[in-house]
Homo-oligomer: A and B are copies of this chain.
Amino acid sequence: MAKVLPAAPFEGANENLAATTAPQDVSREDAATFDVLRKMREDILCCVLKPDQKLKFGELRQRYDTSVGTLREALSHLVSEGLARTESGRGFQVSPISLADFLDLSELRVYLETKTLADAIRHGTDAWEAEIVSSYFLLSKLAAPRQDDPLSVKQEWGKRHKRYHDALVATCRSPWSLHYRSELFDQARRYHWLTMIHSRLHRRNEHIEIRDAVLARDSDRACSLLEQHIRTTVEQAVTDVPGLMRGNARVLKPGTRRKS
């Protein structure tokens, strides 16, 4: 599989809002503690760390080769992103998933994705268009993964998929909307992962339709396509992910035992 440059936001993506107050995107930090955070987040999003799973310091220390203090900091971060929970004295666990949650976050996503996309189109630049073309190209080189593809292919697809969707809205001028959009996109990735694992449904190429509408600066059509894109994914998950509707979805192997 061809290597891809790290998703570096193109120059001037947000130059007129350089010093903003909205929460920091941690993905550019290079300290060890952020490294652990990034790895753990990816593991949760890809259900390597499964929903409801207890996160014990002993195990995590081995897995990520770091100290409790560093781990604690990373876990704390994940809690505020909503990917983990904690009860004082009882440690941490991966956040549960549920149909209600997926519906709720998807509804908010529809609003934030369309709002940021409309604004991005309004303020689009040549560099923005270029990154959309480029990130779409990279995404299209990888067919949407099926359940029997190896983990690494699925993960690479996930990265490119995110990079493409980030590119679409990159010139939006509202840092707060962008921040929450990004957080919710990650949340949705957990459910997408489950869908990817279970579904055999073939979807038409929605990404290229969105791309073309965006490049044509047809805001209404682009937003409407993006909204459908999100809603279709929800429906697909409802239909294909076993247990999600009954509230006891399991990931790969039977998850950790739950109380009564």
Interface residues of A (CB under 8 A from B): 17, 19-24, 26, 29-31, 34, 69, 72-73, 76-77, 79-82, 85-89, 95-98, 100-101, 104-105, 107-108, 111, 173-177, 179-180, 184, 187
Residues of chain B lying within 8 A (CB to CB) of residue A174: 104, 107-108
Interface of A is mostly: helix
A177 to B29, CA, bound (A): 28
* Shortest Cβ distance from residue A86 to the other chain B in the assembled complex, whole angstroms: 7
Q: In the complex, A86 Cα to B37 Cα: how many Å?
A: 15
Number of copies: 2
Min Cβ gap A166→B in Å is 18
| A23:B88 contact, CB within 8 angstroms | no
A150 → chain B closest CB, angstroms:
28
Give the complex CA separation of A31 and B95 in angstroms. Answer: 20
Please indicate the chain B residues that have their CB under 8 angstroms from the CB of A95 in the complex: 21
Contacts of A175 in B (CB 8 A): 101, 104
When distances are taken between beta carbons in the complex, the residues of chain B under 8 Å from A34 are 88
30 examples of A-B residue contacts, CB within 8 angstroms? A19-B96, A20-B98, A20-B100, A21-B98, A21-B101, A21-B187, A22-B105, A23-B80, A26-B79, A26-B80, A29-B87, A29-B88, A30-B88, A34-B88, A69-B72, A76-B76, A77-B79, A77-B80, A80-B80, A80-B81, A82-B179, A101-B175, A104-B173, A104-B174, A104-B175, A107-B174, A108-B176, A111-B111, A176-B184, A180-B180
Q: Are B82 and A21 in contact (CB under 8 A)?
A: yes
Chain B residues in 8 Å Cβ range of A88: 29-31, 34
Contacts of A86 in B (CB 8 A): 24, 29
What residues on B are CB-neighbors of A81 within 8 Å? 23, 80
Q: Which residues of B contact A87 (CB under 8 A)?
A: 29
